[in-house]
Structure 1
Amino acid sequence: MIRPLALAAMLLTAAPAFSQAADPAQGATAAAKDLDRAIAAMDAAKSSSDRIKALTQTIRAYEAGLTAMREGLRQASIREQTLSRELQARETEIAQLLGVLQSIGDQTSPGLLLHPDGPMGTARAGMILSDVTPALNTRAAELRGKLEEVTTLRQLQDNAADTLQTGLQAVQDARATLSKAVADRTDLPRRFTADPVKTALLIASSETLQGFASGLSEIAQNEAPGSLPDIAFRKGALPLPVQGRILRGYVEPDAAGITRPGLIIATRPRALVTTPAAATIRYRGPLLDYGNVMILEPQAGLLFILAGLDTVYGEPGQVLPSGAPVGLMGGSDPGIGEILSQVGDGAGTDRTETLYIETREMNAPVNPANWFHIDGQD
């Protein structure tokens, strides 16, 4: 039978140390706090004197907080699974280690000082004990730390459900409040009034986006002279109108080899879409096969075309400030169980909606990257 001290020495010399991965619990906790702050801000936004601006900012904050929380939980889930597999794989070694520690702890001091080989054996055993015990304590502390980390990570994932449920209800209420506030808005300046008959004729006669865009000036009545201030100094620095991930770049072919002169952004359901700069609404509504379209004119000769929205806000001719809401993406908010399932299995299927962004200068398409800052997108 192997003596406890000999077994301890074998475990310490033969078994590799546990991997030292970075602890993601702090990141997940910080993300949850960001989401909590966004939820609290939504209540304040509903009573703000400038409700549209406040609601827009807090809905965006919620979207950013939800993104951070998803990533934090994903990292926590990966870490928890890694630790669980590691501990399970070393189950036998851990049992032996705990047995050794228990055996040493159960023996009285006189017993430890006696050795069948006499005084020399007792001295050698004492030396081994003095060398091995600190290492055993270190391994035991390491094991205890990993078990505690697994428990913490699981608690984080369990507690996330309550935070997500509260946040989901809050953002749904905020979207409804925002939609009503936009519908009731009467303080926006108007540069022109759209002729509904001419608009209908232009839609019916247009076979391409370019053809429709070239006729936009024909549907405007009583248009004020001049243009909005030049934004050339912001070229390349404008924020994208929606939080998401670039799915396909400018004239990048899709699986069927079809190219489009714009960007396709993958977004989450019901994501908020906003103006990247102050702009006049040139058109909003269904168009060709693009779904609901919002065409913005930030300055003369420059158009930002946003296609694929589910809900659109505003009326043609209105001038929107920078960062104003122009609509919502389609789809429906996933349930809490679905969100946690996606986090747990690492699925990337939460971005189910797509927004198409086309930029036109003098009615010719240009790379949106010329105007938008697209590096490091979510």
Structure 2
Amino acid sequence: MALLWAAGGPAQAQDAAPNDPAAAARIAAEMLGEATHALDEADGAASRVKALTQTVRAFEAGLRAMRVGLRGAAIQEQAVAGDLASREEEIAQLLGVLSSIGATPGPVTLLHPAGPVGTARSGMILADVTPALNARAAQLRARLEELSALRALQQSAADTLAEGLASAQAARAALSQAIADRTDLPRRFTEDPVKTALLIASAESLDGFASGLSQIAVDETPGSLPGIEDRKGQLPLPVQGRILRRAGEADAAGITRPGIVMAAPPRAVVTTPAAATLRYHGPLLDYGNVAILEPQAGILLVFAGMDVVYGQIGQVLPGGSPVGLMAGVGRSGTDNDDEIVPSELLEAATEWTQTLYIEVRQDNTAVDPALWFKTDKDE
């Protein structure tokens, strides 16, 4: 059930938020409730790592949807408040008229200096004006009630978001522990740490490092995994996010790379698109934390820019296994990014604050990842 929410919930919340922030918040709350239920059931799952990975992704979707709802409520509140502020003079005049009418004794309002005829005419005028005054007062009352409801909605949604963030942190911690406790994965080779250190120190580029990866393997089992040739162009992207730059597109500094850059949410989990051998993980050059996967002989998948990396070099990871987490909005390596709704998320109208670099290397030559991954739409 959590997977269904993860797949469709954020889009539903995005559609609902502009017109009905309450509906978006309700959708998000249901998503977070499903994710919490999945977290409770993960302990009994046959594959705890898989169950927790799905749970973390369900929380990611729910938290994004809740931020969408909160952002919609904040925008609508600003619009209502701005409308009321622009009508201050009109509101003051209306309140003055209503107050004067309410404070005047009934018999006095029925008298007029011009006598009975003047009194009749003033009564007719008052009868015509009163409905309009009442309508304006009702409209004002409705706007004030809307403003109050939006503020209450934001507080309620913020409380739900805080609970969801705490549960998401618990799910990530449980996932990290489950990965550390996992002992059932096959291992194709062991790593020579000295050779790894020498390769890192001597590498001047990703090309050079990738070409020397075979040097760090000790007692490698011959052969290859079944491979991914039959899934070319259909591999799922490793993180829930959207394509920011495609292969060969220059960044703000004018630098081009042969891979793609994905924008992803804070603390998003990065997973293997297919079963693969973990050839390397750790810091590398200026790429940050890197994971290099080998789904078949001659093909390498490079994921760079994560805050946390999982697994042991030489392990064979099943498809959909977590290989790392993106950084948060706050300090790297902490969960201080979870400040309910960071101001930059509200102001920029986006929660995609982290970037993951994805490169595919075939026979030690970089190729366009779009040839292998399903990138025809934002993920």
The answer, yes or no, to whether TM exceeds 0.5 is yes
Over alpha carbons, which structure has the higher Rg?
1
Match of 1:314 in 2: 311
Q: CA deviation at 1:189?
A: 2.9
Match of 1:367 in 2: 368
SS across alignment from 2:303: strand
SS across alignment from 1:281: strand
Q: Which amino acid aligns with 2:355?
A: T
Q: CA deviation at 1:324?
A: 0.9
Q: CA deviation at 1:142?
A: 3.1
Pair 1:325-2:326 in alignment: no
* Percent of paired sites with the same residue: 57
Query: Superposed, which structure 2 residues align to 1:30-179 within 5 Å?
Result: 30-98=27-95, 122=120, 126=124, 129=127, 136-179=133-176
Alignment length (residue pairs): 355
> Structure 1 259/108 Cα, relative in aligned 2: closer, same or farther at 3 Å?
same
> Structure 1 342/29 Cα, relative in aligned 2: closer, same or farther at 3 Å?
farther
> Structure 1 151/335 Cα, relative in aligned 2: closer, same or farther at 3 Å?
farther
SS across alignment from 2:357: strand
Q: Is the 8 A contact 1:25 1:152 kept in 2?
A: no
In 1, Cα distance between equivalents of 2:376 and 2:117: 73
Match of 2:7 in 1: none
In 2, Cα distance between equivalents of 1:190 and 1:116: 105
Q: Is the 8 A contact 1:247 1:266 kept in 2?
A: yes
Q: Which amino acid aligns with 1:53?
A: K
Please list the CA deviations of residues 197-244 of structure 1 after superposition, one character each: whole Å capped at 9, or x if unmatched. 554444344322112223334544332424324354351x43322234
In 2, Cα distance between equivalents of 1:169 and 1:367: 38
Pair 1:302-2:299 in alignment: yes
Q: Is the 8 A contact 1:192 1:317 kept in 2?
A: yes
Match of 1:334 in 2: 336
Q: CA RMSD in A?
A: 3.5
In 2, Cα distance between equivalents of 1:64 and 1:196: 38
In 2, Cα distance between equivalents of 1:118 and 1:56: 84
Match of 1:3 in 2: none
In 1, Cα distance between equivalents of 2:301 and 2:235: 12
Unpaired runs of 5+ residues, structure 1, are 1-20
SS across alignment from 2:24: helix
Match of 1:222 among 220, 223, 227: 220
Q: Is the 8 A contact 1:238 1:277 kept in 2?
A: yes
> Structure 1 365/129 Cα, relative in aligned 2: closer, same or farther at 3 Å?
farther
Match of 2:237 among 201, 217, 240: 240
Please list the CA deviations of residues 125-184 of structure 1 after superposition, one character each: whole Å capped at 9, or x if unmatched. 659846x66655544443332222211111122223322332222222222221121111
In 2, Cα distance between equivalents of 1:369 and 1:286: 25
> Structure 1 184/22 Cα, relative in aligned 2: closer, same or farther at 3 Å?
closer
In 1, Cα distance between equivalents of 2:338 and 2:291: 31
Q: Which amino acid aligns with 2:300?
A: L
In 2, Cα distance between equivalents of 1:251 and 1:66: 33
> Structure 1 68/91 Cα, relative in aligned 2: closer, same or farther at 3 Å?
same
When normalised by structure 1's length, the TM-score is 0.79
Please list the CA deviations of residues 86-113 of structure 1 after superposition, one character each: whole Å capped at 9, or x if unmatched. 1111122224345556677889799779
Q: CA deviation at 1:81?
A: 1.0
SS across alignment from 1:322: coil
Q: CA deviation at 1:311?
A: 2.1
Q: CA deviation at 1:341?
A: 3.6
Unpaired runs of 5+ residues, structure 2, are 1-17
Please list the CA deviations of residues 66-98 of structure 1 after superposition, one character each: whole Å capped at 9, or x if unmatched. 111112111211110111011111122224345
Match of 1:181 among 149, 162, 178: 178
Match of 1:285 in 2: 282
Q: Is the 8 A contact 1:228 1:279 kept in 2?
A: no
Q: CA deviation at 1:354?
A: 3.0
Q: CA deviation at 1:121?
A: 9.0
Q: CA deviation at 1:370?
A: 2.6
Q: Bigger CA drift: 59-68 or 289-298?
A: 289-298
In 1, Cα distance between equivalents of 2:375 and 2:119: 72
SS across alignment from 1:258: coil
> Structure 1 336/118 Cα, relative in aligned 2: closer, same or farther at 3 Å?
farther
SS across alignment from 1:304: strand
Q: CA deviation at 1:262?
A: 1.4
In 2, Cα distance between equivalents of 1:294 and 1:216: 12
> Structure 1 64/365 Cα, relative in aligned 2: closer, same or farther at 3 Å?
same
Q: Which amino acid aligns with 1:28?
A: A
Q: CA deviation at 1:124?
A: 10
In 2, Cα distance between equivalents of 1:376 and 1:284: 28
Please list the CA deviations of residues 274-310 of structure 1 after superposition, one character each: whole Å capped at 9, or x if unmatched. 1122222122223233232111122333221011223
> Structure 1 368/161 Cα, relative in aligned 2: closer, same or farther at 3 Å?
same
Q: Which amino acid aligns with 2:335?
A: D
> Structure 1 62/338 Cα, relative in aligned 2: closer, same or farther at 3 Å?
closer
